[in-house]
Structure 1
Amino acid sequence: MSLWVDKYRPRTLAQLSYHENITQNLKALSKSGDFPHLLVYGPSGSGKKTRIYCTLQEIFGPSIEKLKIDVKNFVTPSNRKLEFNVLSSPYHLEITPSDMGNNDRVVIQDLLKDVASTEQVDFGNQSSKKHRFKVVIINEADSLSRDAQAALRRTMEKYSSNIRLILVCNSVSNIIAPIKSRTLLVRIPSPSIEDISNILRQVSKNERVKFSSNDEHAVSAFYEQVAVTSKRNLRRSLLAFETIYMQNETIDVKQMHSTIVLDWEIIIKNMARTISAARNVATLAKLRTTTYELLSHCISARIILKNLMFELVSLAKGKTELIQEIVQIGSTFDERLSLGSKSIFHIEGFIAKTMVAIDTYNV
């Protein structure tokens, strides 16, 4: 039994139900004889990866879904051996080099060089004959180090005849200009509340979900509630909807379901309130333990920092100078997170500096 988010994931461009203009542009690109390098960006849950795989399916056919995981071995300049997981099909690879930290440059150079130096062997169908290249999807491209991005730029220039790169990220602000100039930028905005409501309505129809009321307006209001509280994140909306369905035989459309709010978000809200209420060494030590717990549950340091900063800004209640200072501190430590290796130090540094700023502006 698969999750709804996987069960109802579109497999082809024709099955996509929103952002029709982007869909048509991707369809035109897939049929053109000159498929470019792509930089696909947009907020989480907007459907970036889904559209990429639908486009690849349009180019190479169903073989793109024959996935396997390979373990690649790399050796750093300091002779340290690294193991790296690569998700691949006969026509593409999907990698996340930023998982290797400061060694992401080694992965970029060695892996892409290896892929680019090997031409396609399986030319069984007509589509693969037309597109004689292999696609490499690079996740979290905005988290790549500057050295890795420079290596990526050189690879794009040297091996463009054999490979096409599709870079995926939430924001292009950390992508260097030479890479932007060598790729076609495709922005995937978040689906609208109406788009998400329509998708949830179709899923509930297929799954025969029962509601406490047959009033269409009340049910539509429930769908909108899920979309709004999920911040127009389609993946999260589907997961929240399925969670509510699994916990309730009949969904009460008039009830605000607590399952929509994630536990880790509540913890970060409580951290912000604690910082505002008590700013001392004991609080800092307490929050260190909480931060370790979040990191151990695979909540990324950057997400913790971002959400904590926004919560603190909302608690500042219109104090313009304090808000500016908190944002400045957040920006500084966000940069340090990308440069350093011990994320707990930078999150704790952000908390300590913010405590000092709140004390300064509250005097």
Structure 2
Amino acid sequence: MLWVDKYRPKTLDKMMVHEDIALNLKKLVTEQDCPHLLFYGPTGSGKKTLIMAVLRQMFGASAEKVKVENKVWKVDAGSRTIDLELTTLSSNNHVEINPSDAGFQDRYVVQEIIKEMAKNRPVDARGKKGYKVLVLNEVDKLSREAQHSLRRTMEKYSASCRLILCCNSSSKVTEAVRSRCLNLRINSPTEEQIVRVLEFIGKKEGLQLPPGFATRIAVQSNRSLRRAILSFETCQVQQYPFTSNQAIPPMDWEQYITEIASDIMQEQSAKRLFLVRGKFYELLINCIPPVIILKRLLSELLKKLDAELKHEVCHWAAYYEHRMCLGQKAIFHIEAFVAKFMSIYKAFLIATFG
């Protein structure tokens, strides 16, 4: 088992990061009827860990007894019936889904599937009716229509269902949905907190850490605890005992994007564009989010550019990122950005060197 899963806190009492939020959540769940919750914050900050700890606080160990189902739902879409395939992670008391997986049909997921799930009210061993919890991931990627439908579901089924929403940015969630939830901002852990977690794992694994080694991993992790733990385990696999000057290897996908950036800088042509397109497909197939690919590529390109070009390149990166969020085929927009960059950079080289 990976360390990131092995040492994931199971309860709110054992949180080494976000202890104050965990304490408040414990009081909220224990002392009163829990409201709808909205967790938002950057990737790797610990949102999912907190949500699973809240579920365990609510329902005990049964919250961990989950099954994964890949179901096809028949949904009435006016004049026709459409089939929607969704993967759900469920226990007796909760269901976790990602409605944005349905793309432009996400409103049907909210209107029909979530409504159907919300109607089924669980009954405990004493015959008392409880409530079911629906965990919805990536709600910031839902369309406006889906979010409006979600608001109505939250109001209508509040007696039998609680929603726990999870997203990276609350600004993309409508005010109507936000106002019906208790909003919890989950900040990225500080480098000191990450060092504390790495030292705890090292102690549990019986590892000797050279002075400053955990700090270097924390700095390179960009305040993502998940990434820091994965890097720590990678270092242990590659070389142990650790040395004070041991290199912290970058993630494979980051190294791959660095190579793509070098390819783009070396040659600006249709042939080279076709070559990097294949590499982008490799990243997308391996589930690297397209927005992350675009941001990382921009970061690598900016390192190699003259100051006078940086502003224009950033403008076009933002333009194509916005279009990517509106569209469905991410590869088109990533490729369009690369083509635009090649055009700008080639014109700059011709103007500079003739």
Normalised by the length of structure 2, the TM-score is 0.91
The Cα shift of 1:309 comes to 2.1
* Corresponding residue number in structure 1 for 2:82: 80
Whole-angstrom CA distance in 2 between matches of 1:107 and 1:142: 15
- Partner in structure 2 of residue 296 of structure 1: 285
3-state SS of the aligned residue for 2:231? helix
Deviations 1:96-115 (A, max 9, x none): 11122112222222221112
Correspondences of 1:243-322 after superposition (within 5 Å): 243-258=234-249, 261-319=250-308, 322=309
Q: Which amino acid aligns with 2:322?
A: E
Q: Give me the CA root mean square deviation.
A: 2.1
**Quick one: distance in 2 between partners of 1:316 and 1:173?**
31
1:356 to partner: Cα distance: 2.9
From the superposition, tell whether residues 92 and 252 of structure 1 become closer, same or farther in structure 2 (CA, over 3 Å). same
Asked if 1:159 corresponds to 2:157, the answer is yes
Q: CA deviation at 1:116?
A: 1.7
* Corresponding pairs, count: 347
Contact 1:74 1:106 in 2 (8 A): no
Partner SS state of residue 61, structure 1: helix
Output the CA distance in 1 between the equivalents of 2:312 and 2:170: 24
- Verify: 1:174 aligned to 2:165, yes or no: no
Task: Note the C-alpha offset of 1:122.
Answer: 2.3
**Contact persistence 1:18–1:191 (CA under 8 A):** yes
CA separation in 1, counterparts of 2:94 and 2:214?
A: 36
Preserved CA contact (<8 Å) 1:92 1:137? yes
The 5 A counterparts of 1:101-116 are: 101-116=103-118
Shift of 1:234: 1.0
Instruction: Please tell me whether the aligned partners of residues 94 and 137 of structure 1 are also in contact (alpha carbons under 8 angstroms).
Output: yes
Q: Distance in 2 between matches of 1:263 and 1:243?
A: 11
Instruction: Select which of 193, 196, 201 maps to 1:195.
Output: 193
- Deviation of 1:123 after TM superposition, in Å, equals 4.4
1:41 corresponds to which letter in structure 2? Y
Structure 2 distance, partners of 1:275, 1:71, is 40
**1:63 & 1:253 partners in 2: Cα distance?**
44
Conserved in 2, the CA contact under 8 Å of 1:197 and 1:220?
A: no
Residue aligning to 2:27 = 28
Whether the aligned pair in 1 keeps the contact of 2:36 and 2:163 (CA below 8 Å) is yes
Matched, 1:14 2:13: yes
Q: CA deviation at 1:317?
A: 4.5
SS of 2:89 mapped into structure 1? strand
Alpha-carbon separation, structure 1, partners of 2:303 and 2:169: 23
Distance 2:173 2:273 in 1: 34
Unaligned 5+ segments in structure 2 are none
The SS at the match of 1:71 is strand
Structure 2 CA distance for aligned equivalents of residues 358 and 38 of structure 1: 46
Write the deviation string for residues 222-270 of structure 1: whole angstroms up to 9, x where unpaired.
0011111121211111111112212224222321132xx0121112122
CA distance in 1 between partners of 2:231 and 2:224 (Å):
10
The 3-state SS of whatever aligns with 2:172 is coil
Q: How does 1:218-229 map to 2 (within 5 A)?
A: 219-229=210-220
CA distance in 1, matches of 2:61, 2:10: 9
Shift of 1:9: 0.8
Equivalent residue number for residue 137 of structure 2? 139
CA–CA distance in structure 2, aligned partners of residues 172 and 325 of structure 1: 28
Amino acid aligned to 2:67: K
Compute the displacement of 1:360 (Å).
Answer: 5.4
Question: Match of 2:74, as an amino acid?
Answer: V
Q: Which moved more, 1:133-142 or 1:275-284?
A: 275-284
Write the distance in 2 (CA, Å) between the matches of 1:230 and 1:91: 35
Secondary structure of the corresponding residue to residue 212 of structure 2: helix
Distance 1:268 1:247 in 2: 22
CA distance in 1, matches of 2:327, 2:176: 24
Query: How many Å separate the matches in 2 of 1:273 and 1:308?
Result: 10
Give percent identity, aligned residues only.
43
> Match for residue 358 of structure 1?
345
Deviation at 1:361, TM superposition (A): 5.8
Q: 1:233 aligned to 224, 228, 234, which one? A: 224
Which residue of the partner structure matches residue 61 of structure 1?
Answer: 60
Distance, in Å, in 2 between the alignment partners of 1:294 and 1:122 is: 45
Deviation at 1:344, TM superposition (A): 1.2
Matched-pair contact (CA < 8 Å) for 1:74–1:110: no
**Unaligned runs of at least 5 residues, structure 1:** 212-218
Instruction: Give the corresponding residue for 2:336.
Output: 349
Aligned to 1:242: 233
What is the CA–CA distance in structure 1 between the aligned matches of 2:166 and 2:306, rounded to whole Å? 35
Q: Distance in 2 between matches of 1:56 and 1:263?
A: 33
Structure 1 match to 2:4 = 5
Q: Which moved more, 1:76-85 or 1:196-205?
A: 76-85
Residue 173 of structure 1 aligns to a residue whose secondary structure is helix
Letter of the aligned partner of 1:328 in structure 2? H
1:38-59 deviation line (CA, Å, top 9, x unaligned): 1111111111111111122222
> 1:279 aligns to what SS in structure 2?
coil
The alignment status of 1:326 with 2:313, answered yes or no, reads yes
SS at match of 2:170: coil
**Which deviations, in whole Å up to 9, do the C-alpha atoms of 1:27-80 show, x marking residues without a partner?**
222124231211111111111111111122222222211111233322353433
